[in-house]
Amino acid sequence: MTRKLAISARQVTAICKGAAKASFVVELVINDMVVRLVPDRGATVPAERKNEAIESLEEWKTLQDLPPKVQRHYQNLGYDPATMNNSDYNRLYEEAEAKWLAGIPGTPLTKREQKVLLQFQEHGPGVLVEWRKIKGTGWETEERLVTRGFIEVRYRSRNPDRLEGYVLTEAGFAALEAILT
């Protein structure tokens, strides 16, 4: 019986092809998920250097060594990668997202939200509109409109992970009328 790999075969192939183009030799350890790229000089890696990549990964976990955008993201969440684990990060992220969503209804509509609502003019409330016909609906705009109760998101019955379209609610219709007046 075989175990599922940590990465797909396509990813392994892409890593190997990219390394070959850059004149590197790839050393993969699948179960512990270590990928080591060694310059191709006809020499092998000495045994004393085998754990070097893992040690440098652990050192990289400190907040000072992270890219500035990641540092700001972690600081906004209150997450410290040196002392916290992945479950702490997930919990803090969910708390921050819930706080963000709770604050949306009290804010005025953004330009993008107004633009999306105006596209429902010709359809009216309760009508399913294919997602391709509503332009400018990124994930944030969609989340904001759903949180306000202005639209409902519908997914395909055959493929529940695929978006089918949007339905304007009565509250969304009232907001649309307020924009038009």
- Ranges of residues in the chain whose predicted pLDDT is under 70: 1-6, 23, 28-33, 37-65
The verdict on pTM exceeding 0.85 is no
**Are 20 and 13 in contact, with CB atoms under 8 Å apart?**
no
How do 34-39 and 24-29 pair as beta strands?
antiparallel
Predicted confidence (pLDDT) per residue in 105-121, tens digit: 889 999 999 999 999 99
pLDDT at 114: 95
The three-state secondary structure class of 13 is helix
- Residue 43, pLDDT score: 44
Q: Tally DSSP H helices, then E strands, for the chain.
A: 7, 5
Q: Is the dihedral of CA 34, 35, 38, 43 positive or negative?
A: positive
